[in-house]
Amino acid sequence: MIQTVIKQPAEVISQLVPFGAPVTQILAATPVARGMVAGAAALQADAVLVDGSVTVTLAGGTDGERYLVTVRATLATGEEREAEAEIVVIDAAWVMPDGGAPYLSIEDFVRRFGLPEIVRMTDADGSGRIDRDLLVAQLVDAQAIVEAHLAGRYALPLAEVPLPVKKAIADLARASLYPGGAPDGVADAARASMRMLEQIRDGRLTLPSAVPLAAAAIAADPVLFDAGERAYPDGLQDYRL
C-alpha cells in the first residue's frame, strides 16, 4: 500500500519510509511528478539510513502537484526492494473569515477520509487535484456550526481543540461535499456529530479540556476586594457600655 504524505510547498519535512525489514543500503530515491500542474517544480527527496530504517527528507514542489517517490534499497537479507510514497503538495493554510485559527487542518481532514475520496468530491474539472477553495469553504462552514453550539458554554476560540470537536468538523464538512446527498455512512456520522454538539450546547456533555464560559468571564473581569481602613483607628479601647 502506498502511503500518502501531505506537504506544503515551502515545507521541508522528513518522512519514514517503511520496508518491513532492516535496510543495509539505500540504492536510490527518485521523485517523479504526476503531471497535474504544468511546469511544476521538481521535488527534492534525500534518503538517509539510520539504524536500518530509511528516512526521506522532502523539499520543494508545486502547489496542486502530486509526486511519487520511489526508494530502492537492499535489505539485511540481501534482497532488493522498493517502497513508495505519494507526496501531495498543497497550500494547506486557512483561517476563518474573522481571522480565527482553524480547528482542523486540511492534512488531518485528508488523513481521516483518504485522498481518493477528497479528490473525487472536490475535483470538478477532472484534474485529479483537490479543489482547495471548495474544501476550505466546507471546513469554514463546519467550524462555524461547531462554534455556534459551543458559544454558550465555552470560551472561544478554543485554545486546545478536543478530538470530539475535530471529529464533528470533519464529519460535517465531509457530508457537505456531497451536494446530492451523502451516502448512508457519511450522513449517519454527520447526524451523530450534530447530536453530540446539541448535547454539548445543552450541557449534557462536557469538554474537559475547554474553558467554561463562566470561568473565562471571571478570569477576564475579576472581583477585587478592598480592605479599606478601620472605622475606629484607635480601636474600641475607650468604648463604655
Rounded distance, CA 106 to CA 122, Å? 13
Give the β-pairing of 66-75 and 23-33. Answer: antiparallel
Written as one string, the DSSP assignment of 39-74 is TPPPEEEEEEEETTEEEEEEEE--TT-EEEEEEEEE
Placement of cell 453550539 in the chain: 149
The 10s digit of each residue's pLDDT in 159-181 is 999 999 999 999 999 999 998 89
Task: Give 207-217 pLDDT, tens digit per residue.
Answer: 988 999 876 55
The residues spanned by each domain of the chain are 3-89, 106-220
pLDDT digits (tens, 9 = 90+) for 110-137: 989 998 999 999 998 888 889 999 999 9
| Beta-carbon contacts of residue 46 (< 8 Å; ≥ 6 apart) | 29, 56, 57
Mean pLDDT of 74-103: 94
CATH code given to domain 3-89: 2.60.40
- pLDDT for position 209: 87
Instruction: Determine the residue type at 76.
Output: A
The pLDDT tens digits of the residues spanning 97-106 come to 999 999 999 9
pLDDT band at 225 (very low <50, low <70, confident <90, very high): very low
List the one residue out of 111, 113, 110 whose CA is nearest residue 130: 110
